[in-house]
């Protein structure tokens, strides 16, 4: 096996391991529990999880999705998060190699994954992730390896948060209902800080389209009606990820169609 293959495997394993830790964050952050102590344990029986039952994806499959001790079901979210983060890590490695941009970009996309699953389950976006994310995005833009200038990052943070805040205020004035939470505002500010202001229009458009298609379809299938509040954070994150990996191609494709 050559060095390139070894590093490719490393990137996947690294993503799977961090994905396992993100599952801890997704479970404990909304409950305001420590991420370090106590060690991982079954939420049902409280028994500590042995190291060989904590191998990303593989342990879930070997245990058939159940706790070894009490046989309570383990949410399928656990292997899904691990696989998503593993694949994102691989995609970032293919793009950046083992460079500072790989690690910083990995931190950004890992934050988006964590925020998405917390918002899906609890309908909140924790400030402990989004606010430091905004600051770190602006700081990273100062370094020469960044693909976004510090000015674009700063405008993106202010413009992203400001735009959604304005939309939320207008919606509430017209309908008398809260349409956009403060967490969404901070999330878009974080996205703008990491990807610059130019990413915002297409990211928001993609988030809206996927929200209508996926969210609307899920409501129809569930039969719960359109009054159910759908968290927008996962769709903002999805729109940002699509733009992150395919933004240039999408813009080029759009203008090619427009000019033909």
- pLDDT tens, position by position, 35-73: 888 888 888 887 888 888 899 999 999 998 998 888 889
Asked if residue 109 and residue 212 are part of one domain, the reply reads: yes
Give yes or no for residue 181 having a pLDDT over 80: no
Asked if residue 94 and residue 105 are part of one domain, the reply reads: no
Q: In the numeric block, which tokens belong to residue 155?
A: 């405008």
More confident residue, 142 or 167: 142
Structural element, H or E, at residue 87: helix 77-96
Asked if residue 152 and residue 76 are part of one domain, the reply reads: no
End residue of a domain, out of 98, 129, 148: 98
**Cα 11 from chain centroid (whole Å):** 18
The predicted pLDDT at position 119 comes to 96
Residue 159's domain comprises 100-260
The predicted pLDDT at position 251 comes to 79
The predicted pLDDT at position 139 comes to 96
**Of the candidates 95, 91, 166, 84, the residue with the CA atom closest to the CA atom of residue 117:** 84
Asked if residue 59 and residue 143 are part of one domain, the reply reads: no
Asked if residue 117 and residue 31 are part of one domain, the reply reads: no
Query: How confident is the model over 187-243, as pLDDT tens digits?
Result: 999 999 999 999 999 999 999 999 888 877 776 766 655 556 778 999 999 999 999
215-222 contacts: CB < 8 A, separation 24 or more?
none
Asked if residue 79 and residue 56 are part of one domain, the reply reads: yes
**Of the candidates 109, 104, 117, 76, the residue with the CA atom closest to the CA atom of residue 239:** 109
Q: What is the mean pLDDT of the chain?
A: 89
Asked if residue 46 and residue 131 are part of one domain, the reply reads: no
The whole-angstrom separation of Cα 173 and Cα 4 is: 56
Give yes or no for residue 178 having a pLDDT over 70: no
Give yes or no for residue 179 having a pLDDT over 70: no
Q: How much is the pTM?
A: 0.92
Query: How confident is the model over 84-109, as pLDDT tens digits?
Result: 999 999 999 999 998 999 999 999 99
End residue of a domain, out of 34, 68, 98: 98
The whole-angstrom separation of Cα 184 and Cα 141 is: 22
Calculate what percentage of the chain has a pLDDT beyond 70: 92
Asked if residue 173 and residue 80 are part of one domain, the reply reads: no
The predicted pLDDT at position 223 comes to 61
End residue of a domain, out of 68, 98, 128: 98
Asked if residue 259 and residue 143 are part of one domain, the reply reads: yes
- Domain count for the chain, please give it: 2
Peptide bond into 9 cis (omega under 30): no
């Amino acid at each position: 096996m050559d060095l390139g293959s070894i590093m490719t495997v490393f990137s996947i394993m690294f993503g799977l391991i961090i994905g396992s830790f993100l599952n801890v964050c997704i479970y404990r952050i909304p409950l305001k529990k420590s991420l370090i102590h106590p060690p991982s344990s079954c939420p049902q029986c409280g028994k500590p999880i042995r190291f060989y039952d904590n191998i990303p994806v593989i342990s879930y499959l070997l245990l058939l999705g159940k706790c070894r001790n009490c046989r309570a079901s383990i949410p399928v979210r656990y292997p899904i998060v691990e696989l998503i983060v593993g694949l994102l890590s691989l995609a970032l490695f293919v793009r950046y190699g083992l460079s500072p941009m790989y690690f910083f970009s990995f931190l950004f996309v890992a934050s988006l994954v964590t925020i998405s699953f917390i918002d899906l389950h609890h309908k909140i976006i924790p400030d402990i992730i989004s606010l430091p994310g905004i600051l770190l995005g602006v700081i990273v833009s100062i370094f020469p390896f960044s693909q976004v200038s510090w000015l674009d990052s700063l405008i993106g943070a202010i413009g992203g948060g400001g735009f959604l805040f304005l939309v939320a205020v207008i919606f509430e004035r017209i309908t008398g209902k809260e349409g956009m939470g403060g967490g969404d505002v901070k999330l878009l500010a974080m996205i703008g800080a990491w990807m610059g202001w130019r990413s915002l229009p297409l990211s928001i458009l993609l988030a809206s389209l996927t929200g209508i298609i996926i969210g609307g379809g899920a409501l129809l299938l569930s039969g719960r009606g359109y009054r159910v509040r759908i968290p927008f954070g996962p769709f903002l994150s999805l729109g940002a990820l699509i733009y992150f990996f395919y933004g240039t191609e999408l813009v080029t494709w759009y203008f090619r169609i427009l000019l033909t």
